[in-house]
Structure 1
Amino acid sequence: MAEKNSKFPKGILGFPVAPFNDNGEVDYSALERNIEFLIEEKLAAIFVACGAGEFQSLTDEEYHNMVKTAVEITGGKVPVYTGVGGNIQTALHQAKVSEELGADGYLILPPYLIHGEQEGIYQYYETIIKSTSLNAIMYQRDNAVANLDTVTKLAELPQLVGLKDGLGNMELNVQLTQHLGERLEWMNGMPLAEVTMPAYYPLGFDTYSSAISNYIPHISRLYFDSLVKGDTEQVNALYKEVILPINEIRKQKKGYAVSLIKAGMEIVGLPVGQSVRPPVIPVEKEHYQQLEKIINKALEKYPASEYQSN
C-alpha cells in the first residue's frame, strides 16, 4: 500500500464562494478579499472552485481565473486545493489546469448524473488521480460513493491523500478508518460539519470544511477547540446559540448550503453580494433576517476581538 502523503492540510478548511457582480460575472476582487479573510483567520487551506464556489456553474475561463487568483493571493501561506469533477474529460482538464497554475491538490467531486458500478467509480477516480502528481482527495457523496474495497484499491495510488465524507454513512466510515487507519486523512464534509463532528472526530476525522468559517470563523475555531478539549459545556452552548439555529435555516431550501454562506458574509460586511447562479437560489428575506439575528447575537456574546486566532 502507498505511503501517506504528509502535505495534507489539517484542521478547519476554508471554502471561498464565487462572488458575482451585478452583471452576473465573477468579482475577482471580492474573491481575493474572501481568501485573504480566511488566511487572516488561520484556516488551514483554501479550497477554491468547489461546492461553495458554485463549481458546477463556472465557465472554463472563470475556473482558470479563480484558481489563478487563489494561488496568487495565498502566496504559499497555506495549501490551495481546487474542485475537479463532472464528466471525466472536464475533470481531467481541470486537474491539468490546477497543476499548471500551481495548486497543491484537488478535491474530486462526483461525475455528472451517472450512477456507476464500483468498478466504474474506481476507474473515474483512478483516471483523475493518476493524471497529475498533485494531491487528490476523493469525495463520498451523491452518485460517487466508493465502498471499502474500492477505497482500499485507490489507496494504492500515492497521489491519494484523503477522503472527504459528505454521505454520513457511519458504518462505512468505521470500516474505512479501521481498515486504512492513517494511510488517508479523513475529512468531515457533511453540510454544516460542526453539527456532526462529535460523531466523526473519534473515528479520526480531525479535519473538516466549515461553511460558517466564511463569516464567523472565530466561532468555528472556538467550537472545534472546545470539542477537542472535551469542553462539553461550551460545545453545547454553541450548538444551542449558533450552530443548530443556522442549520435549521440551511435546511429550509435546497441550495442554501451555498447561498446562506453569501448571506452570512454580507451580514458581517464582506463584499460578496448575494447573487448566485441557477439552480441555486438566493436566501429569502425572512431567512436572511433570521440569520442576521443569530449572527448578531453570536457576535455580541462571542466578540471576534476576544477570540482572535493565534
Structure 2
Amino acid sequence: MTLVERKAPKGILGFPVAPLGENGRLDEKALERNIQFLIDEGLTAIFIACGSGEFHALSKGEYQSMVEVAITTASGKVPVYTGVGGNIAHAIEQVKLTEDLGADGYLTLPPYLIEGEQEGIYNYYKEILENSNLNAIVYQRDNAILELETLQRLLDYPQVVGLKDGHGKMELVVEQTQTIGDRLQWINGMPFAEITMPTYMPLGFNTYSSAISNYLPHISRMYYKALTKGNHHLVRQLYVDVLLPINRIRKSRKGYAISLIKAGMEIVGLPVGNTVKPPVIPVEKEHYKILEEIITSSIEKYPVENKNVNIDT
C-alpha cells in the first residue's frame, strides 16, 4: 500500500471557476485553460469545485467533470483538492468519488443550512473523514466554526492536514494556532485573502487562497513576495493601487466574490464569460467597467513578470 504524505499545500493556492457556455453548461475546454493558466503562473495547488467553482450549484455530472478535468490537466505537477460538503450524504459521495478519481485530498465545506452544536459539527466532519484516507483540510466559516476542543478532537484523524479560516475571529485563530502549532497547515481563506494576510502571517499562516490569481496572478505573487520579504512600501502600494479598489467592488454586491473573478478573467482574455449560476448575479456593467480600468492600470504600473515563476514557500 502506498503511504500518503500527510501535509497540505503551501504558498498561493489556485481556485478555478466553473466556466459556463451560452447554454449554461460547463465549458470543459475553458476550465482546462483556467487550470493550466494557474499552474503556469506558479500556484502551488488546484482546489477544484469549491466556492469559486460554484460548488453550491453544481450537478453531480458537472462536479465529476470538473474533478476529472483538474486531475488530467494538473497531471501530477501540483496536488488537486476537491470541495466536499453541504448535504452530508452528498459530501460522503463526493469524498468517495474524489478518492476514486485520484485526487490528492479535499476541502470540507460547511454543512447545508443547519447551524449545529459543536458535537454536531464534529460528527459532520467525522463522518466525512471516516469515508476516505485522503488528506483533508477543514474549512472554518459561516455555520462551521470549530472551538479549540472540537478541532483538537478532529486531530485524532491523521488525514486532517490543515485548517482554512474564513471566519476571521482573531481571538479564536490565536487560540487555535498557538495551542496546536505546526500539527496543521494554517490557510487564510477569507473572501479576499490578500487583504487580511498581514494579520494572519504572524500567527503561522503562510498559505492563502487567491481569487485574483485567476486574472492577476503576477500581482498576487508580487504581493506575497513583498509581504514575506518585509517590503512594506510595495505591499502598501499594491493595496492602494490594486487590492483595495477591487475589494470595494467585491463588497458592493452579494455573490461578487464569485462573479467578479469571472469578470476579471474575461477582461484579461480568458474564455469564461460573465455568466454565473443562480442565486449569484453577474457583475453589473458599471462595476465591470471600473474593474476593467483597475486591471488595465495595474498591468501598466506593474507589468507581467516572466512566466518562469518561482514562489518561495
Q: 1:197 to 1:51 in 2, by over 3 A?
A: same
Residue by residue, what CA displacement relative to the aligned partner does 1:45-89 show, whole Å, maximum 9, x if unpaired? Answer: 000000000001000011011101100010000000000001110
Residues 106 and 134 in structure 1, CA contact (< 8 A), matched pair in contact too: yes
Alignment partner, residue 206 of structure 2: 206
Q: CA offset at residue 305 of structure 1?
A: 3.5
Counterpart in the other structure of 2:63: 63
Q: Which residue of 1 aligns with 2:221?
A: 221
Contact 1:84–1:106 under 8 Å retained in 2: yes
Q: CA shift at 1:306, angstroms?
A: 5.3
Superposition deviation, residue 129 in structure 1: 1.2
Which residue in 2 is equivalent to 1:20? 20
Q: CA deviation at 1:7?
A: 3.2
Contact 1:5 1:161 in 2 (8 A): no
Matches within 5 A, 1:126-145: 126-145=126-145
Compute the displacement of 1:5 (Å). Answer: 5.4
Could you tell me whether the CA contact under 8 Å between 1:218 and 1:308 is conserved in 2?
Answer: no
Q: How far, CA to CA, are the matches of 2:297 and 2:249 in structure 1?
A: 16
Q: TM-score, normalised by structure 2?
A: 0.97
Q: Give a deviation string over 1:125-166, Cα, whole Å, max 9, x none.
A: 011012101010101111111100000000111010000000
Q: The residue matched to 1:196 in structure 2 has which SS?
A: helix
1: CA distance between counterparts of 2:273 and 2:60?
A: 22
Deviations 1:212-263 (A, max 9, x none): 0000101000001000001000000000000000000000000000000000
The AA in structure 1 aligned to 2:23 is N
Match of 2:232 in 1: 232
- Report the counterpart of residue 29 of structure 1 in structure 2: 29
Tell me if the contact between 2:11 and 2:44 (Cα under 8 Å) persists in the aligned partners: yes
Question: C-alpha displacement at 1:274, in angstroms?
Answer: 1.0
| Contact 2:40 2:307 (C-alpha < 8 Å) held by counterparts | no
Q: Distance in 2 between matches of 1:306 and 1:50?
A: 29
Does residue 122 (structure 1) correspond to residue 122 (structure 2)? The answer is yes
Is the 2:266–2:272 contact (alpha carbons within 8 Å) kept by the matching residues of 1?
yes
Question: 2-side partners of 1:180 and 1:7: how far apart?
Answer: 15
Q: Which amino acid aligns with 2:109?
A: L
Tell me which residue corresponds to 1:304.
Answer: 304
Query: What is the alpha-carbon distance in structure 1 between the residues aligned to residue 96 and residue 86 of structure 2?
Result: 15
Hey, what's the Cα distance between the residues in 2 that align with 1:7 and 1:114? 30
**Relative to structure 1, is the Cα distance of residues 5 and 120 closer, same or farther in structure 2, using a 3 angstrom cutoff?**
farther
Aligned residue for 2:296, secondary structure, equals: helix
Q: Which residue of 2 aligns with 1:104?
A: 104
Aligned partner of 2:86 in structure 1 is 86
Unaligned runs of 5+ in 2: none
Shift of residue 308, structure 1, vs aligned partner: 5.4
| Aligned residue number for residue 154 of structure 2 | 154
1:272 aligned partner: 272
Runs ≥4 residues deviating over 4 A: none
> Does structure 2 retain, via aligned residues, the 8 Å contact 1:83–1:108?
yes
Distance 2:84 2:141 in 1: 14
User: How many pairs were matched up?
Assistant: 307
Aligned equivalents of 1:306, 1:11: Cα separation in 2: 19
Q: Determine the C-alpha separation between the residues in 2 that align with 1:168 and 1:307.
A: 33
Contact 2:6 2:135 in 1 (8 A): no
| Partners of 1:147 and 1:282 in 2: CA distance | 36
SS at match of 1:202: helix
Paired residue type of 1:300: E
What fraction of aligned residue pairs are identical, expressed as a percent? 64
Please report the RMSD computed on the Cα atoms of aligned residues, expressed in angstroms: 1.1
Q: Distance in 1 between matches of 2:34 and 2:69?
A: 11
Secondary structure of the structure 2 residue equivalent to 1:94:
helix
Stretches of structure 1 that go unaligned for 5 or more consecutive residues are: none
